[in-house]
Structure 1
Amino acid sequence: MAEKTITYVASTEYDGGAERHIKRLAETVQPDWTVSLLGHLEASRGALRTLGTYALGGKWVTRNLPLAFVRLPFERRKALRAAKESPSLIYHMHFKREQIGFSRAFSRLGSVIWTEHGVFPERLFGLILRPFYRRASRHVDTIACVSEKVRDSLTVVLGSDKKLIVIPNAIDVARYKEARLEERDAARMNFSFPSERRVALVIGRLAAAKRPALAVDAALAAGCLVLVAGSGPEEAQLLARYEQVKEVVIVGEVDDTRQLWAAADVHLFLSNGEGEGLPTVLLEAAASSVPSVAAVDGGFGELAVSLGGIVADPTVQAIASAIKASEVLTIDQNVLREYDLVSWRLRHLQMYEKAVRDVKYE
């Protein structure tokens, strides 16, 4: 067995923030650790050595839980077989299926670490999983939370913060910068936007909890052109609703978002906070010197303001007023130092080293 080995245990068909988090983490720690994937990630297709797959169904959601629990023993057996053929010192798990279903068994092979990417669910899904989650956490060395908000929610669920640490989400700050005038004009030409109009950017998963339609309506009310990037269950509805509105351009998923930020004057983050951990779009906006307007009930108003943004009630009129007020906001780039990949990588390496020491001296 390699001296320093990590296996990321995750299987999902999505390509969202958590999935990209795993891929980025694997890429940044590989100079120091040998990294493998057990499962399937669209975000890392071909980029990681894969030990095998085990999933007989998708990520856990409320509607598939009965069948998910039936499949779980078969998935666990298949995953264990693959893990034993190529053992690791650490097994890092990110989603509820693996955390609840695999942790006890995998703790006999090496140290188990969890990362929680969002607050613990409060609806039926969370109520069902809570006792299983607490029981599985007994077999975990450390639970990394992407924000203090996530840590606080897990403290309530677990009844203790003993195993919890906070490693805030991060971005490669150096990749982003304020667009020069000629860069801004060139970016806008890609979307057929005139240079003299303000542009509001709505970016991320297009789900009901993110309130993308509210964002578009408020931006239009403020006299802005609107650029919408992302995919999700609300995408078809948005396309149908704004298809004939020439001020709205919906571009779907975009791999390199820097052209989007270059075209934007203001960023709208109107999530109600459901399932959120620490939205990297707020960091990307600030690194690009684009102020964010955040909904006051989303739980990230303090972060948005610290990054040079503004908060508002989740109504068309209030958001439109905030968009207009954002014209005079300035971004303090120094705040972003806490969220840079350099410190993020170091904190993860320290967590991994601690997990190995804990096993060594047990």
Structure 2
Amino acid sequence: MKRRDVLKAAGLGIAGASTLAMPAIAQATPELKWRMTSSFPKSMDVLYGNGELVAKYVAEATDNKFQIQLFAPGEIVPALQALDAVANNTIEMAHTCSYYYWGKDPAFAFGTAVPFGLNSRMQNAWMYYGGGIELMNEFYAKFGVVGFPAGNTGAQMGGWFRKEINTPEDLKGLKMRIAGFGGAVLQKLGVIPQQIAGGDIYPSLEKGTIDAAEWVGPYDDEKIGFYKVAPYYYYPGFWEGGAYLHAFINKAKYDALPDSYKQALQIATKAATSDMQARYDMVNPPAMKRLAQAGAKLRPFSQQVLSACFDAAQQSYDELNAKNADFKKMYDSMMAYRRDAFLWFQVSEYPADTFLMVQQREGKL
């Protein structure tokens, strides 16, 4: 073969390789435009904004080739129908709370928080390193979705009440907005739980449709203005020691994504989870001070109330474990970790934090 023919053949080979490679590269990084519905009103800038962060991080990680547009409740579907919309492929994604769908199956509660469960650090440990995400996705697959934690509020408050709650008797007949498993526990003590979307809670409390309501914590609760109609602000929210939000994705859509886009979603949701708690830990302290100055009456739940609720929670766990295999599988995994985690925290976080809190009460901080 002549030299020019060799070069010509080599040139054709290179050109051919380039021609073949380009479609493969394009396929690996397709341009996608997805929609994500939120269960949180735009006025809740941390909650709603966390969904915006997920979309931002995914876009940045993919050179804007994978774009996700966020929609407020009601723009496509109502707040509490977000999961259904994803499952039936009305929309690709939702930013919501897993325990909102407790009515479909109680096992959904473990994706957000369960009564007397884990604090937020423990939640992260169990989800990311204790098999929690894998267990949850094994369960979520039955509903046609994939889910990843996408936000954590930290420990929440116990809510706003029109009257003081001193004993378990004071809970009887109380109509309270409370989501998920916590409502089932309080129901055993006579509370009438109401699941109401965030944007509808204040009007219900103002009109007297409900007697009490829990939402998140000082920063968000101040925005809504609960203290104006229900001044007693109780803590802790024992049903949400570290409450996760979730990004739910239609399973067929997720499975069809390139691996790099799947990784972008996982990293984005993990980053958004860290961001949310950091932000709440910054904005909640001054908000709590402002609420107290505005007339909110901060109260701890009594040990009598907490003990009654703990016993009711254990009864609920026993009942659900006996009849729901998915629930029991997650319960056994989480609570095995909880036993070890609280032993560790007793010799690490708890004494260090308690000492400094005593110094604060003595005016030394």
TM-score interval for Structure 1 and Structure 2 normalised by the shorter chain: under 0.3
Larger Rg: 2
Which one has more relative contact order, counting CA pairs under 8 Å at least 6 apart? 2
More helix by share: 2
User: What TM-score results when the alignment is normalised by the length of structure 1?
Assistant: 0.23
